[in-house]
Amino acid sequence: MEDMIEALQIYFSRANAWTPLWVTLKTGIAATFITFFTGLFAAARVMRLPSGKKAVADSILTLPIVLPPTVVGFVLLLLFSRNRLLGKTLNLAFGVVIPGTWAACVIAAVVISFPLMYRNTRAAFEQMDVTMIYAARTLGLSEWEIFWKISVPNALPGIASGTVLAFARAIGEYGATSMFAGNILGKTSTISQQIAVQMGNDNGLIAGFWSILIVAISVCVVFLMNRFSGRMNFPGRWG
């Protein structure tokens, strides 16, 4: 045990040793913030589509969750490459290069975690009592007011669970991030990448430490959100 503690102390005394934790947390927070609003509005928008268009939109928006993450990363790399239209435009117009940067970590995490937020939010909206929306319209409320004052509060437990799942997926992302952002210590290297690197270096002790840490973070987030959700009591609460 003393040898293990000493080995951990030596490893984490190095420069940039703790940066995978900070990169992971700030990536997860930024990605969840973006995913929260995009998933919320995408779910609300898709629900208003005719059944045929709804099926197509739902398939497209859910696709990242069924594709291998490395495929998602490869597609992102192609889209944002300086040799492609989008990446070339960003580079020439703004001097921005996305691949290999922290922004690439966030984009990869957003794309991978988005379907979880979208699916949970849409399911919550679909289980609402639509008569409340009809009643709000007869009272003269705008669609914007109905969305924020009626739809969102009544779907909040589902929205909260989607947010938690999106965050947990974002901090655990590996495949797409590795393809799109690379593994640069202190810049784009996340905990998941460090686990793979340490196992590749036959350093199971450090890989195990990072694994325990990411599990602990995920458990704490889910526990806190479950406690928060359990205290919510809305008229239209489902589940």
Q: How confident is the model at residue 236 (pLDDT cuts 50, 70, 90)?
A: very low
**What pLDDT sits at residue 228?**
65
For residue 188, CA distances in Å to 45, 74, 112, 119, 212 come to 33, 16, 16, 28, 20
Report percent pLDDT > 70 for the chain: 95
> Where is pLDDT greater, at 6 or 231?
6
Rounded distance between C-alpha atoms, residue 46 and residue 122, angstroms? 8
CATH code for the part of the protein at 2-231: 1.10.3720.10
**What is the pTM (predicted TM-score) of this model?**
0.88
> Where is pLDDT greater, at 46 or 230?
46
**What pLDDT sits at residue 95?**
87
Identity (one letter) of the amino acid at 110? V
Rounded distance between C-alpha atoms, residue 100 and residue 177, angstroms? 9
Closest CA to 109 of 27, 198, 203, 227: 27
Q: How confident is the model at residue 230 (pLDDT cuts 50, 70, 90)?
A: low
Task: Find the range with the poorest average confidence among 27-31, 174-178, 228-232.
Answer: 228-232
pLDDT in tens, 120-147: 999 998 888 888 888 888 888 888 888 8
- Annotate 100-153 with DSSP letters as a single string: TSHHHHHHHHHHHHHHHHHHHHHHHHHTS-HHHHHHHHHTT--HHHHIIIIIHH
Rounded distance between C-alpha atoms, residue 87 and residue 76, angstroms? 10
Would you say residue 174 has pLDDT above 90?
A: yes
Q: How confident is the model at residue 118 (pLDDT cuts 50, 70, 90)?
A: very high
Domain ranges of the chain: 2-231
If you average pLDDT over residues 184-199, what whole number do you get? 92
**What pLDDT sits at residue 237?**
44
E strand intervals along the chain: none
Give the mean pLDDT of the chain: 88
